[in-house]
A and B are shown apart, each in its own frame.
Chain A
Amino acid sequence: MTWTRTVAVALSAAWALFHSAVALATPADPEAARRGAHAFGRYCVSCHGVQGDGRGPSADWIDPRPRILTSGTFKFRSTASGELPTDDDLFRTISNGLHHTNMPHWDAITAMERHDLVQYVKTLSPRFASEPQGKPIVIPAAPKFTPALVAKGKEVYGKMGCANCHGDTGKGDGSSWSTLRDDWGYPIVPRDFTSGPLKVGDAPEDLYRAFMTGLNGSPMPSFAESITPDESWALVAYVRSLRVE
């Protein structure tokens, strides 16, 4: 095979892959997105900006900074690392808000508006028009959180180097905490596991999901390729045991 033929085959394969991805993509429903623009203008622009670029007039004085919706990169998903979130993921974040951030829970507005907002948010990033959204990971039933499971989780915590960021006691004061940056170069603080709920929720499944999907755009990786589901549940048990208030 000549090199030109190799290149041609590779280009063809890439082209086919691109088209198959586009074919599988689930772009926004235009009618719902058109309606969602009304809700976005009313509720969202002050932080996320008119273009969804995370540069609204409030962005500079809130911490953490608002999500850059044009990137198509979302921390809180049920999908594998690097993948786009599902519509349900976006709906859940809009409805429940994110603890310790300025993203409130918008569950007071109608479900119709929240569904339309999901569609509008999908129009802000070209990724939704060119890539398929991910499939939710399977979360096995939670085991009973016993002292033995907590002890096993502590081992996993050490093995995965969690303490580097989150600290030995989970206070978010690991040796690298001050050096962490998100994908856009903004400082990002590791979670303090000793207080309060997680940003995305406080159920054991929320922790499990975060461990196995990672938080796209942040230094928090997915452990899906590194630990087993049993180990992930053990890690959940240990991290929850760190809570002191």
Chain B
Amino acid sequence: MRNPTRWLVACLVVLAATRAEAFPSFARKYGMSCTACHVAWPIFNQVGQSFWDNGYQFDLGKDDSINQGLSYIPFSIRTTPNYTFTRSTNQASDNGPVATQTGGISPPGVDILTGGTIAKDLSFLVVLTGFSPSDGQALVESAWARVSNLGGSSWLNFKAGKFELDLPASAHRDVSLAGVGYAVYGAHPAGSLVGFDMSENQLGLELSGHDARSSTRYSLAVVNANGDPGSGNAWSSPLVYAHVQRSFELDNRVLPWVRVGALGAVGWLPTSFATNGTNADGSPASVPGTGRDHKSYQRVGGELSWMLGYPATPALFTAAFMYGREEAGLAGTDPATATDLSGQSNSFTGGFLELDWVPFAEVSYNSTPWLFFARYDFVRYATGSGDYDGGTLGVRRYLAFGPKGAMAIHAELHADKTRGAGAPDPNTNIAKDVESQSFLVGLDFDF
């Protein structure tokens, strides 16, 4: 990308518009506060996780929409108007690297969500997102149908459509609104041809299961990896993803709850295609569906979550560490150094540590009005540019958090540094590092 600023802004807008899954219509359906299912909206607690794992069901005879009063309409809407100021160093200009500063009210996208059950063990979710005044575009972020409890077993649930992979921390229930967290999910070595970003929703199938309390749970998915070109195989851009989690209750008031987990993914990307004419830039135009000479890429990782303090009002820590590897032939040229990396494999390590702290105020209809959060992200590549460090600090003040909807004032500071992502140094012609800082303050409205 020749203009990193444009790239950054585009990413911010797209990512900010694709954080959707907080669902007040469920609160209205069951008469429960958002806090019943969320440590702090939108982060799940164990009740929310269990409800999600069970296909949007509590299984007490009140799940069927037809049993609900007229006040229940299975639609929710979310918008997050905010002011964002961003400063980035070493952006390309005719006069050499410059720092840029942008600020203003970001185009507030809108998420429209509908989901729930249509009958026992039959559930669905459809999320339309976008509608930003900047482009008027909308996309189907999620669209899946699910059959739960196959054969009467909670260990067998089948989902098909476009859905989020089961991640250590959901990128779609990310508390950050800046859209720059969980960098490791979308990490790729310099010049990589792989487009897979595990934080993006994927098209495919998922088999999942859990025990009665969702203490032990798994997910196994086969998907068309997003961003990858089609191949001539039965699966267009095949990727297999697996994730397991196990949580433990400790009879301890300081450390009452711990969860461990592991994930792995392997995908295959075609590296050569039949061609037909040329693209606008003169390169050969690939014919979709003719990909061959597949190369593989992998991700493996582990996670640890724990609560400090009382579980109902915890300091929730989530840490994840991942290793990624991409086979030789899956990279082009490192844009930072113009080095040809196509003949070598590459790898990276990365992860994040997040803290979400929900102090208790008093027994009221807004017992937990504050959320303080902090996150550190990092990615390190074995070869080439792109090493990343980022930190986020934020606070949310919930103005409404009851069984009808939610609204919060949100403020967030973010700073990061990406090695070799900026304009080239005029003297060495090596790309400079980019340091960015952003400040966001806005309203998170969810009805």
Contact = CB atoms under 8 A, between A and B. Distances in A.
A42 B313 contact: yes
B1 interface: no
A45 B58 contact: no
Contacts of A102: 30-32, 62
B307 to A, nearest CB: 9
Interface in B240-291: 249, 251, 253, 256-257
A110 interface: yes
Contacts of B213: 107-108
Interface in A1-59: 35, 37-43, 45-47, 50, 56-59
Given A99-B61, A110-B256, A104 B32 contact: yes
A109 interface: yes
Interchain residue pairs A-B with the least CB separation, the first 10: A41-B367, A58-B31, A108-B50, A39-B312, A46-B33, A38-B312, A108-B46, A41-B363, A100-B61, A46-B403
Contact of A109 (B61, B251, B253, B311): B311
B58 A100 contact: no
Nearest to A41: B367
B58 A42 contact: no
B364 interface: yes
Interface size class of A (residues with CB under 8 A): 35 or more
Contacts, number: 119
Given A45-B363, A99-B60, A104-B30, 11 more contacts: A38-B312, A38-B360, A39-B310, A43-B35, A46-B32, A50-B364, A59-B31, A61-B69, A100-B60, A102-B31, A112-B311
Interface in B395-437: 402-404
Interface of B is mostly: loop
Interface of A: 35, 37-43, 45-47, 50, 56-59, 61-63, 97-113, 196-197
Contacts of A59: 31
Given A41-B364, A47-B32, A57 B403 contact: yes
Contact of A57 (B212, B362, B404): B404
Q: Which of B61, B212, B404 has the most CB of A within 10 A?
A: B61
A61 B368 CA distance: 24
Interface in B360-398: 360, 362-365, 367-368
B71 interface: yes
B114 interface: no
A45 B368 CA distance: 12
A45 B251 CA distance: 26
B47 interface: yes
A111 B213 CA distance: 11
Contacts of B62: 100-102
Interface string B284-315: 00000000000000000000000000111100
Contacts of B365: 45-46, 50, 56-57
A149 to B, nearest CB: 28
B69 A42 contact: no
Contacts of A98: 60
A94 to B, nearest CB: 12
A31 B311 CA distance: 15
A108 B367 contact: no
A108 B46 CA distance: 6
Interface string B62-76: 100000010100000
A38 B61 contact: no
B47 A106 contact: yes
23 contacts: A38-B310, A38-B313, A38-B367, A39-B312, A41-B363, A42-B312, A42-B313, A43-B35, A45-B365, A46-B36, A50-B364, A57-B365, A57-B403, A58-B31, A62-B31, A63-B69, A100-B61, A102-B32, A107-B213, A108-B47, A112-B253, A113-B311, A196-B61
Q: Which of B60, B212, B214 has the most CB of A within 10 A?
A: B60
Interface of A is mostly: loop
Given A35-B310, A37-B363, A50-B364, A42 B60 contact: no
Q: Which of B36, B71, B253 has the most CB of A within 10 A?
A: B36
B364 A112 contact: no
Contacts of B311: 39, 109-110, 112-113
B192 interface: no
Given A58-B403, A100-B60, A113-B312, A45 B71 contact: no
Contacts of B249: 110-112
Given A111-B249, A112-B256, A42 B403 contact: no
Contacts of A103: 60
B132 interface: no
Contact of B47 (A45, A50, A109): A109
B49 interface: yes
Contacts of B214: 108
Nearest to B70: A61
Nearest to B313: A38
Nearest to A51: B363
A61 B35 contact: no
Contacts of B313: 38, 42
A44 B49 CA distance: 18
Given A58-B403, A100-B61, A42 B32 contact: no
Contacts of B402: 46, 57
B33 A42 contact: yes
Contacts of A43: 32-33, 35-36, 47, 312
Nearest to A117: B312
Contact of A50 (B32, B50, B363): B363
Interface string B165-188: 000000000000000000000000
